[in-house]
Every structure is written in structure tokens, then in C-alpha cells.
């Protein structure tokens, strides 16, 4: 496990509503997460899980309500954001540099995600599950205190799932917050969950 | 600042891999090579009109990298990840424009020396042309990034890019060609003023386009 200093983090959502394409995608979302919390954002396909994570990351405008964040945020979604021509280790080190992390940090995170053997493989040759683990290794190396993971278990086999669970538990023990958006129940214990309903009839 | 340089280096590397450096240069030199074929070996005519043709070629070669400046980074999530790390859209636009200066403007200036030899421009005209292009190319780089941000993800982005660039670049072309005439007047000052204004405004325009494209 990585030796990381304790995170001071909290995440508060109050009555958050997001309006997109002429309708409310999310309405009246409340969440209070403090140090060490692991939150499961649950909901069916299209219920706005990814939208909520993108809004928390500051990528989408919020229609009403407030988002208070203490700590730094890292997002892992379907977009890998790793340069496809570079070897995996180089591609990860690019972000590690921007995150003020050392090359050693990215080696540790690659080991934690069990992709060390792929470090010389160009990113475009990686399989679905390997790509997913590469994206998660980027999060691990970022030293962010709040992890926003969008469907992190998709495409992972049981061994990789165990690696991810161990990483989340270590993050939580260090005082970090993890938000897991998943349509299926995650394999670790979550401290709270937020259920998103489809707002079919909302104006 | 180190991170800024790292991102600019990435732009140059991507341009090198993706043909963004060579494509405009080859296009530019191709125009310079083909032009004497259509006019015939009339030295006086070439010396008089060659500079103008190179201005048009420089302007059109601006469009060649437009499709790969913003769209790949948006699709792969690189722009999102930079935003999350606190990089504003304007700053990302500045990174892209500075990257274009190295990957597009400087190679084109070097190619101008070869192109003017191919056309047979007199030495004095070449000097004026190089100074004029040195003013204009940062502005054209800014326009390329702005147009790339505006059209990223649209159908027919490259055709639309051409339609957008031509009206925006007309002042540069008029003053730029004006510097080469026998009576240049204030053309160089006007060119410099226009180019500086466009180059200074383009990060904000491109930043706004990036923001609008994200939502």
C-alpha cells in the first residue's frame, strides 16, 4: 500500500439541480461526505450518474444549489486521456508531472493496479480492462483527496476488482473520499449511497 | 511554467507525429513550385505576383492542422482532465497557440526562404515578406486554434473552417499583400496592428468556444 499523508477532505452537495437539453437531468441532490467516506452513486442507465460526477468535477454548470468541496478532485470516466502512441508508463508520467507527483508515485500506482508489466506497451494496444486499470492508476498517482470513479468496475476481472477495492480502502483509511458511480452494487462496503431517479416527467 | 512548457512540447510532439508540421510546409512549397508553371517563365511577372501567392498559400495552409488541434483532445478527455486540474480554457488555448507557433509558424517562415527562391522573388521583397509573415503567423495560429475549437465535433468541420477563416483573415491578407507593393505606405504598421489584435483576442475567443463545447 502507498504511504500517503492524511487527506483533509469533505464534499457537500445541497439541493443540486442540473438542467441540460431543456430538462432537469438531476434535481434536489443532497450529499454530505466527510473524511474516509465511500459513497455509492446508484441509479439506472441514463439516471445522471456521470452527469453528477462531471458537475462535481466542475466540468458542468449547476443550475441551482451549492457544491462545497474541500480537497482536490480526480475523475476517472470512459475517456482515458492517455496519449495512444506513448508507452503506458510515459503516458501516465505525463499526468503525474502535472499533478506534482514523482515518477516513483506513478510506478507505485501502476504496481497497485497490476499493470507494471505493461509499462512499455503503447496505450493503443491495451485491452478494455487494461485501459480501465490504466485510468485508475492515473487517479491513484494524482494524490487527489476526492476520487470520482465512473463505473470503475466495468471491464475489470475479479483480480483487478480486488486491486481496485484495496486501493479504495487504502484511500479511505488515509482520509480520502471516494464516489463510485455504478449501476451494480460495488464489491466493497460503502458508507452511504445516493439514489438517482429518472426524472422523465420533469419539465 | 514548467508544466506550461511540458504541454507545449506535447503539442509539438503531436504535430510531428500527426503530420501537422510537414503538411502545411509541403502544401506551401507545392504552391510555390506550381505557380511558375501556370504563369510561364516570366521573371518580372513572378517577382511582382509571387509574394501575393505566398500570402494566399500561407493563409490556406493555416487550415490544414485545424481538425487535429482540439477534437482529439476533447474526445480522449485530455481537455476535461486539464480543466479539473485548474487549467482555464483560455490558458489551454494559449498552450495550443504557442504550440502552433513552433509547429506551424516557424517551419513556414523557413519554408518561405525556399519558396521565394523557387518563385524568384528579389532579395528586398523576401525580407519584407518574412517580416510581414512573422507578424501575421501568430495571428493565423490564433485563428486556427479558435476555428478548431469552434468546429470541433461538427460534421464537415474542415469545410466550415475554411468558410470561417477567410473572412477573419482578409484584413491580414490585404495589409500583408500591401506591404509587397511598390508603394507600401503604412501597410506594415496596419498589418502589425491587426495581427497583434487578432493574436491577443484569439485565446479568449478560443477559450469561450472550448467552454461552450464542453456543456
Q: For the segment A41-94, what is each residue's pLDDT rounded down to a tens digit?
A: 998 888 889 999 999 999 998 888 999 999 999 999 889 999 989 999 999 999
- On chain B, the residues whose CB falls within 8 A of the CB of A81 are 76-78, 80-81
Instruction: Return d(Cα A85, Cα B10) in angstroms, integer.
Output: 12
| Contact call for residues B63 and B104 (beta carbons, < 8 A) | no
CB contact under 8 A, A79 and B80: yes
Residue B75 contacts A where some CB pair is shorter than 8 Å? yes
* Residue A6: predicted pLDDT: 65
pLDDT band at A203 (very low <50, low <70, confident <90, very high): very low
Residue B153 contacts A where some CB pair is shorter than 8 Å? no
CB contact under 8 A, A83 and B10: yes
pLDDT band at A1 (very low <50, low <70, confident <90, very high): very low
| Contact call for residues A83 and A91 (beta carbons, < 8 A) | yes
Instruction: Return d(Cα B14, Cα B21) in angstroms, integer.
Output: 9
CB contact under 8 A, B81 and A95: yes
Which of A61, A81, A94 lies at the smallest CB-CB distance from B77? Answer: A81
Which of B6, B77, B85 lies at the smallest CB-CB distance from A80? Answer: B77
CB contact under 8 A, A82 and B76: yes
The model's pTM is 0.91
CB contact under 8 A, B84 and A57: yes
Neighbours of A74 (CB within 10 A): 23
Residue B43 contacts A where some CB pair is shorter than 8 Å? no
pLDDT band at A198 (very low <50, low <70, confident <90, very high): low
Mean pLDDT of A170-196: 88
Q: What is the ipTM of this complex?
A: 0.89
Residue B76 contacts A where some CB pair is shorter than 8 Å? yes
pLDDT higher than 50, residue A2 = no
Interface mutation vs chain B, best among A21, A61, A73, A79, most B CBs within 10 Å:
A79
Mean pLDDT of A165-170: 93
Instruction: Return d(Cα B116, Cα B131) in angstroms, integer.
Output: 14
CB contact under 8 A, B85 and A99: yes
Interface mutation vs chain B, best among A51, A59, A60, A143, most B CBs within 10 Å:
A59
CB contact under 8 A, B77 and A77: yes
Q: What is the pLDDT along chain B (215 residues), one digit of tens a residue?
A: 899 999 999 999 999 988 888 999 999 999 999 999 998 888 889 988 999 999 999 999 999 999 889 999 999 999 999 999 999 999 999 999 999 999 999 999 999 999 999 998 999 899 999 999 999 999 999 999 999 999 998 888 888 998 999 999 999 999 999 999 888 878 999 999 999 999 999 999 999 999 998 87
* Residue A199: predicted pLDDT: 57
pLDDT higher than 70, residue A201 = no
- On chain B, the residues whose CB falls within 8 A of the CB of A75 are 80-81, 84
* Residue B198: predicted pLDDT: 96
CB contact under 8 A, A98 and B3: yes
CA atoms A148, A150, A151, A156: torsion sign:
negative
Cα–Cα distances in angstroms (integers) from residue B36 to residues A166, B4, B125, B206, in the given order: 69, 43, 17, 38
Neighbours of B127 (CB within 10 A): 12
Which of B10, B14, B76 lies at the smallest CB-CB distance from A81? Answer: B76
Dump pLDDT digits (tens) for A97-155: 999 888 888 899 999 999 999 999 999 999 999 999 999 999 999 989 999 999 999 88
Q: If you measure CA to CA, which chain A residue comes closest to B80?
A: A59
CB contact under 8 A, B81 and A85: no
b or e along A14-41 (b: 16 or more beta carbons within 10 Å of the residue's beta carbon)?
eebbbbeeeebbbbebebebebbbbbbb
Task: Give the closest-approach CA distance of B68 to chain A in angstroms.
Answer: 14
Task: Give the closest-approach CA distance of A100 to chain B in angstroms.
Answer: 9
Amino acid at each position: 500500500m502507498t504511504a500517503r499523508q492524511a487527506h483533509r477532505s469533505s464534499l457537500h452537495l445541497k439541493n443540486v439541480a442540473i438542467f441540460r437539453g431543456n430538462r432537469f437531468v438531476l434535481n434536489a441532490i443532497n450529499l454530505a461526505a466527510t473524511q474516509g467516506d465511500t459513497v455509492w452513486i446508484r441509479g439506472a442507465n441514463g439516471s445522471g450518474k456521470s452527469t453528477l460526477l462531471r458537475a462535481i468535477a466542475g466540468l458542468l454548470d449547476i443550475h441551482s444549489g451549492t457544491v462545497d468541496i474541500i480537497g482536490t478532485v480526480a475523475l476517472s470516466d470512459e475517456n482515458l486521456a492517455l496519449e495512444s502512441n506513448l508507452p503506458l508508463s510515459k503516458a501516465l508520467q505525463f499526468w503525474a508531472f502535472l499533478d506534482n507527483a514523482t515518477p516513483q508515485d506513478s510506478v507505485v500506482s501502476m504496481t497497485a493496479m497490476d499493470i507494471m508489466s505493461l509499462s512499455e506497451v503503447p496505450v493503443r494496444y491495451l485491452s478494455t480492462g487494461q485501459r480501465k486499470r490504466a485510468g485508475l492508476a492515473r487517479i491513484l498517482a494524482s494524490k487527489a483527496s476526492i476520487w470520482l470513479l465512473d463505473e470503475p468496475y466495468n471491464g475489470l476481472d475479479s483480480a483487478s476488482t480486488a486491486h481496485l477495492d484495496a486501493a479504495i480502502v487504502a484511500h479511505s483509511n488515509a482520509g480520502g473520499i471516494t464516489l463510485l458511480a455504478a449501476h451494480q452494487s460495488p464489491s466493497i462496503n460503502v458508507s452511504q449511497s445516493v439514489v438517482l431517479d429518472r426524472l422523465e416527467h420533469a419539465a | 511554467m514548467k508544466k506550461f512548457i511540458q504541454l507545449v512540447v506535447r503539442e509539438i510532439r503531436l504535430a510531428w507525429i500527426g503530420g501537422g508540421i510537414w503538411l502545411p510546409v509541403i502544401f506551401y512549397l507545392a504552391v510555390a513550385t506550381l505557380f511558375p508553371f501556370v504563369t510561364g517563365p516570366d521573371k518580372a511577372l513572378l517577382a511582382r505576383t509571387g509574394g501575393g501567392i505566398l500570402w494566399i498559400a500561407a493563409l490556406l495552409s493555416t487550415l490544414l492542422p485545424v481538425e487535429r488541434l482540439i477534437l482529439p483532445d476533447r474526445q480522449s478527455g485530455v481537455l476535461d482532465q486539464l480543466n479539473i486540474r485548474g487549467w482555464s480554457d483560455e490558458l489551454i488555448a494559449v498552450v495550443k497557440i504557442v504550440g502552433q507557433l513552433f509547429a506551424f509558424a516557424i517551419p513556414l517562415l523557413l519554408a518561405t526562404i525556399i519558396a521565394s527562391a523557387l518563385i524568384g522573388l528579389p532579395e528586398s521583397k523576401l525580407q519584407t515578406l518574412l517580416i510581414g509573415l512573422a507578424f501575421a503567423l501568430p495571428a493565423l495560429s490564433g485563428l486556427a486554434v479558435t476555428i478548431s475549437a469552434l468546429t470541433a465535433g461538427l460534421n464537415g468541420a474542415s469545410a466550415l473552417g475554411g468558410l470561417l477563416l477567410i473572412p477573419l483573415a482578409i484584413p491580414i491578407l490585404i495589409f500583408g499583400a500591401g506591404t509587397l507593393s511598390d508603394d507600401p505606405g503604412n501597410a506594415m504598421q496596419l498589418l502589425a496592428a491587426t495581427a497583434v489584435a487578432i493574436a491577443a483576442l484569439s485565446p479568449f475567443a478560443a477559450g469561450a468556444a472550448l467552454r461552450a463545447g464542453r456543456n
